Amino acid sequence: MRIPVLADLVDVFLPRICAGCGEIIHNDTFLCAECSNELAVRRLPAGAALLNGLPVVAPFEYAFPVSAMVTAAKFRNLPRIFLPLARAMYEALAEAGLAGYPQVVVPVPLHHARRRERGFDQAQYLAESIAGFLDCSFLPKVLRRVRATPPQKRVGRRQRMVALHGAFGPGRQAVEIEGRRVLLVDDVVTTGATFEAAMQAMLSYLPAGVLFLVAARTPPPSDVPPEDPIAGKGSLDLPEEQS
Ligand SMILES: [Zn+2]
């Protein structure tokens, strides 16, 4: 007979904690009933929005409890918390009529130093899950983080653009995006500056188009039109001007 080790006992007896409010829960999900309801409230309307002219699909507004889930996943090193978010991202893509759009799925990479301190790369985890749902190629090495940028949640788009200039370079899989429709995945988008910097690094490899998918977004009101102008397909070619 195998003697139970401490890990087994911990797994059985350790109460789970809601990733939103921290309450003890007794189910297999990551949210209590109240936070689950709150999550449903944060659901954005179906379709793609434009952020600085770039099409972005996001299931959720970046607010509680999504913000708490992202923080919990990162700092408690629990990537599984991202699984329900990955599923919601896939559903948002399908609801926008865009599940057939991507041919390859590419994560926005973390700098390796950041990944080392965190233990996992959230965008890579999300992108790989979504590539699985879509049954298309997952290409984690298209982009390379050339240098780490400090977290800068409270600065504007222009400052972020300056800080992120040259933050990404092409990785060894960059040649594989030529002529293909790319789904670029990150956990959260705020100003869109990260996506613009990532686009800069990919443009010379001539993708057929790029669509962005995130778990949550905080749209600057002036950038996002109230109604989605490009929910239809066929208008997702790369924007011409990339300054
Ligand atoms: Zn809760």
- pLDDT single digits (tens) 33-76: 999 999 999 999 999 998 888 899 999 999 999 999 988 887 77
For the cut 60, the answer to whether the pLDDT of residue 147 exceeds it is yes
Residue 180 CA to ligand 1 centre (angstroms): 41
Specify the pLDDT at position 181: 97
pLDDT band with cut points at 50, 70 and 90 for residue 14: low
Q: Give the span between the Cα atoms of 139 and 137, in whole angstroms.
A: 6
Residue 123 CA to ligand 1 centre (angstroms): 24
Residue 29 CA to ligand 1 centre (angstroms): 11
Residue 35 CA to ligand 1 centre (angstroms): 4
Q: Give the span between the Cα atoms of 114 and 9, in whole angstroms.
A: 32
Residue 24 CA to ligand 1 centre (angstroms): 8
**pTM across the whole model:** 0.80
171: closest CA among 132, 198, 135, 134?
198
Q: Give the span between the Cα atoms of 106 and 141, in whole angstroms.
A: 8
Specify the pLDDT at position 187: 92
Strand ranges in the chain using DSSP code E only, listed in sequence order: 16-17, 24-25, 49-51, 54-57, 60-61, 104-107, 137-138, 143-145, 168-170, 181-189, 209-217
pLDDT band with cut points at 50, 70 and 90 for residue 224: very low
Specify the pLDDT at position 149: 64
Residue 13 CA to ligand 1 centre (angstroms): 19
For the cut 80, the answer to whether the pLDDT of residue 223 exceeds it is no
Residue 92 CA to ligand 1 centre (angstroms): 23
Residue 95 CA to ligand 1 centre (angstroms): 27
Domains defined along the chain, listed by start:
43-217 (3.40.50.2020)
For the cut 70, the answer to whether the pLDDT of residue 200 exceeds it is yes
Residue 67 CA to ligand 1 centre (angstroms): 12
Residue 109 CA to ligand 1 centre (angstroms): 30
Q: Give the span between the Cα atoms of 176 and 46, in whole angstroms.
A: 30
Condensed to tens digits (0 to 9), the pLDDT of residues 122-132 reads 899 999 999 99
pLDDT band with cut points at 50, 70 and 90 for residue 219: low
Residue 25 CA to ligand 1 centre (angstroms): 8
Residue 58 CA to ligand 1 centre (angstroms): 22
Residue 188 CA to ligand 1 centre (angstroms): 21
Q: Which of 26-35, 77-86, 93-102, 225-234 has the highest mean pLDDT?
A: 93-102
Residue 22 CA to ligand 1 centre (angstroms): 6
Specify the pLDDT at position 115: 67
Strand ranges in 28-180 using DSSP code E only, listed in sequence order: 49-51, 54-57, 60-61, 104-107, 137-138, 143-145, 168-170
Condensed to tens digits (0 to 9), the pLDDT of residues 156-188 reads 666 766 667 778 999 999 999 999 999 999 999
Condensed to tens digits (0 to 9), the pLDDT of residues 84-142 reads 899 999 999 999 999 999 999 999 998 666 667 767 788 999 999 999 999 999 999 99
Residue 33 CA to ligand 1 centre (angstroms): 7
Q: What is the mean pLDDT of residues 197-205?
A: 92
Structure tokens at 178: 């030529």
Residue 49 CA to ligand 1 centre (angstroms): 29
